[in-house]
Structure 1
Amino acid sequence: MSTSEIKQNRKARFSRLYELAYTDVLRFIQRRAGPDHAEDIVHEAFLVAWRRLDEIPAKHNDARAWLFATARNGLLNNQRGQARQGALAVRIAARAPTFADTESELTHQRIDLASAWQRLRPDDQEVLALAIWEDLTSSQAGQVLGISSAAYRIRLHRARKSLRRELDASPFPAPLAGSLMTE
């Protein structure tokens, strides 16, 4: 294969990866950093992807997890560089189920869940978000966090227990928690 063919193949692979994963990676970072710096961080992640294209897994979901990990590392570097401590900013209210009997009950459930979420440690928030919002397998989520899939499953179990404790401590009953507790 000639040098120009290799370059064309690299460009085509990168373009396809960018096309399929950019929006997911952008949302991933926006939920953690907000919209202000998200695009810059995602572009940095894709710059790293271009430089290390041969190291990226061939399967789309694995490549997506690789990009999440790269973007997450970029975010952490950005936060350290700006001396900010960022917590995971997730818009829980939009994900609350709609099976409440009344609008008032649904509002209480959303408030309980949002309050419980804020009381969780950032590490627990991250573990739960990878399972719930990013819909990653334990292997992929482990890759994002730089741990084994078994270690991730243990952390996920503990994070779910923590969320359950926080919801049980809420002033209003929150039956929607069960939907977040199952896998």
Structure 2
Amino acid sequence: MANGDETSFEHWVRQYQAFLYRAAWALTGERTLAQDLVQETFAQAWRARAQLRQPAAAQGWLYRILCRAALRQRREPWAPWDEADCAGAVAELPALDARIDLVRALQRIAPAHREILVLYYLTDMDYAQLAAALDIPAGTVMSRLHRARQALRRALGEDDTDDANAR
């Protein structure tokens, strides 16, 4: 990738676009902002492509670029959905109620907890890849993930004493 080959970069975009979009949407709560952040991430990655020395670390490297781009946006935290606006749309979809509850619970937990949960459950990253993406030790990944699960359970109103069904 460091050689600047545009065809390789296009393949790279196709490979990581969905991952970055899911991460950006989960971190921001806004689809259009997530799309903008993904575009900005790839633009910055193209400009800094020579800095990536290990292609196997591309996913973590892109995620760090995405996080920095999200921080520069300095947007307000997620605004809760107005149930009156979407009452008719969700009345017939009971599974959607659970998803909305999860989104609301994610809004109520700390950004660091939301970030680790999103990365762990929406990607195929292992602890080592998470550590690289977040620039923290693997042991910190495990403890932060444990605390994030507990925080999410509390936000969902569930008992957080048993971590056996964590994944």
Asked if Structure 1 and Structure 2 have the same fold, meaning a TM-score greater than 0.5 normalized by the shorter chain, the answer is: yes
Q: For the residues of structure 1 that align with 2:155 and 2:32, how far apart are their CA atoms?
A: 30
Q: Which deviates more, 131-140 or 65-74?
A: 131-140
User: 8 Å contact 1:124–1:156 — kept in the other structure?
Assistant: yes
Aligned length, in residue pairs = 150
Gaps spanning 5+ residues in structure 1: where?
A: 1-5, 90-102
**1:117 corresponds to:** 106
Q: Note closer, same or farther for the CA distance 1:162–1:50 as it changes in structure 2 (3 Å cut).
A: same
Q: Displacement, 1:145?
A: 2.2
User: 8 Å contact 2:22–2:122 — kept in the other structure?
Assistant: no
Q: Displacement, 1:112?
A: 5.8
| Pairing 1:67–2:56 present | no
TM-score relative to the length of structure 2: 0.70
TM-score relative to the length of structure 1: 0.64
Q: Note closer, same or farther for the CA distance 1:111–1:38 as it changes in structure 2 (3 Å cut).
A: closer
Q: For the residues of structure 2 that align with 1:53 and 1:21, how far apart are their CA atoms?
A: 15
**1:54 corresponds to:** 50
Q: Note closer, same or farther for the CA distance 1:87–1:23 as it changes in structure 2 (3 Å cut).
A: same
Among 150, 162, 172, the alignment partner of 2:151 is 162
| Pairing 1:16–2:5 present | no
Q: For the residues of structure 1 that align with 2:103 and 2:18, how far apart are their CA atoms?
A: 25
**What does residue range 1-183 of structure 1 map to in structure 2 within 5 Å?**
10-33=5-28, 34-56=30-52, 57-59=54-56, 62-79=57-74, 84-87=75-78, 113-114=102-103, 116-167=105-156, 169-170=157-158, 179=165, 181-182=166-167
Q: Note closer, same or farther for the CA distance 1:50–1:162 as it changes in structure 2 (3 Å cut).
A: same
User: 8 Å contact 1:45–1:74 — kept in the other structure?
Assistant: yes
Say what the alpha-carbon RMSD is for the aligned residues: 3.4
User: 8 Å contact 2:16–2:59 — kept in the other structure?
Assistant: yes
Aligned-residue identity in percent: 27
Q: Note closer, same or farther for the CA distance 1:111–1:43 as it changes in structure 2 (3 Å cut).
A: closer
Amino acid at match of 1:149: A
